[in-house]
Structure 1
Amino acid sequence: MEEKSYIEFGSTLYRGFISDNLYHDKNLGEVHFSSYIPKSYDGSKPYALFITIPGWDGWLFWGAGANLEFQDFGIEAQKYNSEMLVLSLQFNACDELTAKQTVAITEYFLDRGCKRYDQHGGGMSFAHDEEIMGWLFAH
């Protein structure tokens, strides 16, 4: 049976992140993202998940990894919890498809061991509107 979604990990390193990953979703298309995954991560115990979505300066049309060069949210997040996966998503738009892709990649990682529901948060709509994404972490 073909999986609905999968990840193709890149190889370009930037400040501890792999900056050229691709999340593929059969229905929603591709999401470019950078990732920091601790060496100790093997999916056998719950890990925290931190996701950042940079603004215009980090959009994909500036190039893979631009999200890490212009905004340090993902880089700074590593300092708070050594057992946390950090994803920095890269889009070229801010629309309904982007929102659906964000939910899909979040669910993908939640299904693979990122279930520290006591450690979550986010800015703007993410932290304040359960209709958008807050329900993902309300288990």
Structure 2
Amino acid sequence: PVNSTYGRGFIAVHDDEIAAESNGIDTTRTKVTAFVTGAFFAGIAGGLYAHHKQFLSPTGFDWVKSIDIVVMVILGGMGRTAGVIAAAVLLTLMPEFLRDFAEYRMIIYALLIILLMLLRPAGLFSIPLKRRPTA
């Protein structure tokens, strides 16, 4: 949880590494812990994916697939798990819904992603910032 010692350490290192170190947080250990935790879950996900597909080849992991994953994280909102899951579901199902428009599918897909980025630049579940009136 975020309110634990480790969670607050992660947030402190994320916000300001120098300030976190000056407050006694071992930033190197915190970054290594974050990397190992992420690598652990990526390894588990890869194992489950391989078990599900029952066959893996390098052609299934081209640069387009990497870009799709990065777009899912950006559209979902960095640091928002529910938003990333919603973006993954949305970006996985959107091409299937656009299958009837075969010639225009990729154009519509790109336009919808651009529209989403314009309307929700901080992610799907972000809280819109209120603008203060100018003087």
- TM-score for both structures, normalised by structure 2: 0.24
Greater RCO, CA 8 A, separation 6+: 1
Normalized per residue, the structure richer in helix is: 2
Normalized per residue, the structure richer in strand is: 1
Higher-Rg member (1/2):
2
- TM-score for both structures, normalised by structure 1: 0.23
